[in-house]
Structure 1
Amino acid sequence: MSVEDENVDAVGATASPLSHFGAEVRLERERLGMSRAELGKEACCGYSLVAKIESGDRVPALDFAETCDRVFPHAGGRFVRLWPLALRYAFPPWFRRYVELEWSATAVRMFHPLLLPGIVQTEAYAREVLRTGRPTNLDHLVSARMERQRILTRDDPPRLWIVLDEGVLRRAVGGSDVMCGQLERLRALADSPPHVVQIIPSSIAVYPGSGSPFGLLSFEEGPDVVHVDGFPKGYVLAESEDVASATSAYDLLAATALPPDESAPLIDSILKDHFS
């Protein structure tokens, strides 16, 4: 059963939570007699970003929502409460259901044979990846991806387990500077319990599930779900047979990959030999 289309357009584009968030910012700012430049100074951002947030054209950072709650006398914590819903609607309709599930997951397992998953991409790496689709809203897409990563820095982060093909580490996305920053980020993650990073070495040419990136989400309550990353859009599967197949495939991938204590030195070696 595919669940990615479930209630994706329950709120129209003109009244989406993202647009509503922006409208509320503008209402409170004007009520206070504050200019966009003044709000931008409080939020450590520019006039143009405030304008884009107010028009619903840019996802707000959590820091921006916190600033609004601090600056606007009648906010009452409203902007931080609105922020998760606004973030969800910053993504394409087919991806919103996954973002919602990811936000509540207690464990996230991912496999990718070609790229670093979005959840661990640096801003520079994400920009290069997203740029390939020639979007007209590149800054918006990058901001949304970076804000999605907030789940890893909150007080109760999910356990992240990533299995990657070694080729992912060697593929020069954006050049040496971009890759250096990205591999340093991955290396830091590998050293941060309870997260796990495993690399399938290039000496293993064929392995289970090598053709398609996918992931598994686990929750405090309820069954696991599977996310398949595909073109032109990914989808979420919840049928027990699909989840069982994906779990078996992931277990085999983890067994095939180098153990964590050997994967980390491999990241160091590629970083030193190819991108330093």
Structure 2
Amino acid sequence: MANIQTLDPSASPLDYYGWELRRQREAHGLNQGRLGEIIFCTGSLIGQIETTKKIPTRDFSERVDAALGTDGTFSRLIGLVLRSQLPTWFQPYAEMEAKASYISTYQAQVVYGLLQTEEYARAVLATGMSDDLNGLVAARVERQRILDREQPPLTWVVLDESVLLRPIGGREVMRRQLAHLLELTGHRWMHVQVLPNTAGAHASLDGTFNLLRFDDDPDIIYTEDLISGHMTANPEILREASRRYARLQAAALSVEDSAALIARVLEERYGDRSQPEEHAVA
């Protein structure tokens, strides 16, 4: 195990977190085991976080702040730590997403990341090639904190009907994911529409995209390919994307009918516990 003193606290948010945790712990005259007892975890976990072997959680950070009286230092730092666990190419988008006042997205394969349950996100991210699945899942959950703000971004989501039918993670995971979607549709700042299979050919057969709008900055559009993401504020591309999104919304079911369809799929496809679990194959 690496010695925390050999870490460069300026190397990354995670390195700084581990370095600062050990500094604060020692300043309070506590060994790893004793701090673990105070915040209800093992001393081994403290050591692993101090040496960047484990990614801290927000709950862990809040308990450390309470135990050491650090005035929210670790609760503030954890956001940077978790954002740094996102793929490098995705981090600029996540930063812009966190500043957006309006988000609109069309998703053809999976539920939009901000709307995913933790277990659904884990099943989606497990299909990739990351060596740190836990870090990616924690980072995705952290992104969703923007929806808990007093004034969250107005979010408009168009989901292809196939997203509801694709059993990612199995029946139980999908049941909870669709129930979560229905819960979100009860918020005045969240609108979910389903583009039904009966719509046939539509305005975005060539892929998904996100539109972000800001109070004081230019709008941007974000798209992804197999291995990276792309953002642009090109006015011509934005106009075309806006036209496409309007056509998608027009072809999709109303918000009310979409919620009814989600509820029906939830009951008919994922509601029977007597049937064996179905798992997607990566």
Q: Same fold by TM-score, threshold 0.5 exceeded?
A: yes
Check if 1:140 corresponds to 2:135: yes
Match of residue 231, structure 1, among 211, 215, 226? 226
Deviations 1:90-141 (A, max 9, x none): 2111111111111111121111111111111111111111111243211111
Match of residue 23, structure 1, among 19, 35, 54? 19
- CA distance, structure 2, for counterparts of residue 155 and residue 28 of structure 1: 32
- CA distance, structure 2, for counterparts of residue 43 and residue 121 of structure 1: 29
The one-letter amino acid paired with 2:56 is P
Deviations 1:196-230 (A, max 9, x none): 00001111121101221110111121111111122
Aligned to 2:201: 206
Check if 1:191 corresponds to 2:186: yes
Deviation at 1:23, TM superposition (A): 1.6
Greater Cα shift, 197-206 or 59-68:
59-68
The one-letter amino acid paired with 1:90 is Q
Deviation at 1:21, TM superposition (A): 1.7
Number of aligned positions between the proteins:
264
**Is the CA contact 1:43–1:63 (under 8 Å) kept in the aligned structure 2?**
no
Residue 80 and residue 27 in structure 1: after superposition, are their counterparts in 2 closer, same or farther (change >3 A)?
Answer: same
Aligned to 1:64: 60
Aligned-residue sequence identity (percent) comes to 38
Question: 2:198 is paired with a residue of what secondary structure?
Answer: coil
Q: How does 1:45-64 map to 2 (within 5 A)?
A: 47=43, 49-64=45-60
Aligned to 1:163: 158
Question: 1:34 is paired with a residue of what secondary structure?
Answer: coil
5+ residue gaps, structure 2, are 1-7, 272-282
- CA distance, structure 1, for counterparts of residue 149 and residue 39 of structure 2: 20
Residue 243 and residue 152 in structure 1: after superposition, are their counterparts in 2 closer, same or farther (change >3 A)?
Answer: same
Aligned to 1:96: 91
- CA distance, structure 2, for counterparts of residue 63 and residue 240 of structure 1: 42
Check if 1:117 corresponds to 2:112: yes
Residue 243 and residue 13 in structure 1: after superposition, are their counterparts in 2 closer, same or farther (change >3 A)?
Answer: farther
Residue 94 and residue 177 in structure 1: after superposition, are their counterparts in 2 closer, same or farther (change >3 A)?
Answer: same
Residue 154 and residue 164 in structure 1: after superposition, are their counterparts in 2 closer, same or farther (change >3 A)?
Answer: same
Aligned to 1:32: 28
**Is the CA contact 1:190–1:196 (under 8 Å) kept in the aligned structure 2?**
yes
Residue 39 and residue 201 in structure 1: after superposition, are their counterparts in 2 closer, same or farther (change >3 A)?
Answer: farther
Aligned to 2:77: 82
- What value does the CA root-mean-square deviation take over the aligned residues? 2.2
Residue 164 and residue 34 in structure 1: after superposition, are their counterparts in 2 closer, same or farther (change >3 A)?
Answer: same
The one-letter amino acid paired with 2:143 is R
Aligned to 2:3: none
Deviation at 1:52, TM superposition (A): 4.1
Residue 254 and residue 69 in structure 1: after superposition, are their counterparts in 2 closer, same or farther (change >3 A)?
Answer: same
Q: How does 1:165-180 map to 2 (within 5 A)?
A: 165-180=160-175
- CA distance, structure 2, for counterparts of residue 177 and residue 22 of structure 1: 36
Greater Cα shift, 112-121 or 46-55:
46-55
The one-letter amino acid paired with 2:205 is S
**Is the CA contact 1:57–1:140 (under 8 Å) kept in the aligned structure 2?**
no
Deviation at 1:36, TM superposition (A): 3.8
Residue 153 and residue 265 in structure 1: after superposition, are their counterparts in 2 closer, same or farther (change >3 A)?
Answer: same
**Is the CA contact 1:59–1:144 (under 8 Å) kept in the aligned structure 2?**
no
Deviations 1:50-104 (A, max 9, x none): 444333354433333333332223x343323323322321211111111111111
5+ residue gaps, structure 1, are 1-11
**Is the CA contact 1:212–1:230 (under 8 Å) kept in the aligned structure 2?**
no
What is the TM-score with the length of structure 2 in the denominator? 0.85
**Is the CA contact 1:58–1:143 (under 8 Å) kept in the aligned structure 2?**
no
Aligned to 1:8: none
Question: 2:239 is paired with a residue of what secondary structure?
Answer: helix
